A and B are shown apart, each in its own frame.
Chain A
């Protein structure tokens, strides 16, 4: 029997400090759904998803009720569609996105990720078709999320694909009023077991079906740090590790239960601290509790480095398999403290980029002026990819050029995506750099400095 204190602590974490399971994500392999006839392939994809995930939402809701912990999203990730659709005799992959959307609605999940291409070294015809289909696919589907991997530590950076993604992000923004860009991530070093959106896909190294879990809990970490206002850096690290351990144990328990009840293997727990725009559920507020005046000021990077590392150390022992992105997310629109820091002028894109060098994942959910040139967006992607490539870590860009919006305008994305002030980008012209194209060579793996 647990002690009364521990029972009340758990309840307090859930009810007062927003401890929740951010997502239970089912990964589904679609490789054998490929067919020369796109219609047949789409039917197979729909059937595979519906038959694999039919019980996902009711099982997750049952666990939610039984344990008394919210599971905010139920999601699906699938094999990168360019690998499946490449066999079909069509250049327009919108029909595949439509099939994914229908299947997601049929089983009642919140998001489905995997309308994706792996183009880190070079692009196949299928990768090009998928990328060219993105504006139409994202404009005509509700819950389908997309990602394109444009670089890796092993392969370097596919700068031609980077340049194209800059153009596509502008085009998607113009077609969807910006919202489509919230469903698109450009990665370097993408991982195949990430349960978080918009970048989730089911990697080719995975089995047929698995369950991955993403936890949340910035509020729990902040609350723990509130109790030790005079702790040294070592003391803060210990405090964060203990809180992260408890948060992660919830992920392990929910993942194990879900996998067992669905009769599929349990994959990983992603240790990321995922904030929401609600007060008290903010990574920025943790950093400010640690003593950073306002996030974005000097000291932010070191505080974030400690937080990110301690979360991993605490979480690693709490679960059997760790994977995904595992770190601290710093999405601007999904974090009340980040929004305030941007609004007050302390946090800018340059500091955010520095922060991404030591945490997961990258420039995330950032609204920028709608007239930002495609080459500037491409250069932002390339800079982030360079950080990921050189540091052997995952980085990503999810920026939203908002048509007609100017710096300082507040844009509401709705739901978990929150709202964000439009941020200023540097106006210097990166066009000549981006137009060079080709592939940036992979870095040397010794002589690291």
Chain B
């Protein structure tokens, strides 16, 4: 499955490291990644790919929530389908 990962929250050291390390452990491949900081606010958007048979999206979301809680950021993982449906004709 292709999904979009978004991470938002107050910026601090180690967010990208924590998120990408956990994704690697979960066998989630990062295809495309962008990151910006506006004021103190950190925003990371990544397109990623994983085998949903081996790792159902619900279990990945649960794992990433733990990382998000530790890092005090919000991490969302959503099927790319919702963004394509809304913005593409």
Binds A, one of B10-18, B21-29, B74-82: B74-82
Chain A, range 185-241, C-beta contacts under 8 Å to B: none
What is the CA–CA distance of A62 and B32 in the complex, to the nearest angstrom? 26
Given A65-B57, A67-B79, A68-B82, does the pair A7, B6 have CB atoms closer than 8 Å? yes
Are B87 and A4 interface neighbours, CB within 8 A?
A: no
- Interface pair A250/B82, CB less than 8 Å apart: yes
Q: Which A residue's beta carbon lies closest to that of B79? A: A66
Nearest chain A CB to B3 CB, angstrom units: 8
**Contact (A10, B47) CB under 8 Å given A1-B32, A65-B58, A68-B76:** no
Chain B positions 52-79 with a Cβ under 8 Å from a chain A Cβ: 57-58, 61, 76-79
User: Is A8 within 8 A of B83, CB to CB?
Assistant: no
Determine the interface band of chain A, counting residues with CB < 8 A from chain B. 20 to 34
- Chain B count of residues within 8 A CB distance of the other chain: 24
A350 at the B interface (CB under 8 A): no
The docked-state distance in angstroms from the alpha carbon of A2 to that of B77 is 15
For B43, what are the chain A residues with a Cβ–Cβ distance below 8 Å? 8
Q: What number of residue pairs across chains A and B have CB atoms under 8 A from each other?
A: 59
| Cross-interface CB contact of B85 among A11, A65, A68, A252, cutoff 8 Å | A252
**Contact between chains at B85 and A66 (CB < 8 Å):** no
| B79 cross-chain contacts in A, Cβ below 8 A | 66-68
State A65–B77 Cα separation when bound (angstroms). Answer: 9
What residues of chain A lie closer than 8 Å to B19, measured between beta carbons?
none
Whether B83 and A250, one on each chain, are in contact in the complex, defined by CB atoms closer than 8 angstroms, is: no
Q: In the bound complex, how far is the Cα of B45 from the Cα of A66, in angstroms? A: 17
Of A6, A65, A66, A252, which is within 8 A of B83 by CB?
A6
Roughly how many angstroms separate A382 CA and B85 CA in the complex, as a whole number? 42
- Is A425's beta carbon under 8 Å from chain B? no
- Smallest CB-CB separation from A63: which chain B residue? B79
CB distance from B86 to the nearest CB of A (A): 5
Residues of B within 8 A of A11 (CB): 6, 76
CB nearest to B52 among chain A residues: A66
> Footprint of A on B, CB under 8 Å?
4, 6, 32, 34, 36, 43, 45, 47, 57-58, 61, 76-88
29 contacts between A and B (CB under 8 A): A1-B32, A1-B47, A2-B80, A2-B83, A2-B88, A4-B45, A6-B87, A7-B45, A7-B83, A8-B6, A8-B43, A10-B83, A10-B86, A10-B87, A62-B58, A65-B58, A66-B57, A66-B58, A66-B78, A67-B79, A67-B82, A68-B78, A69-B82, A246-B86, A246-B87, A249-B85, A249-B86, A252-B85, A257-B81
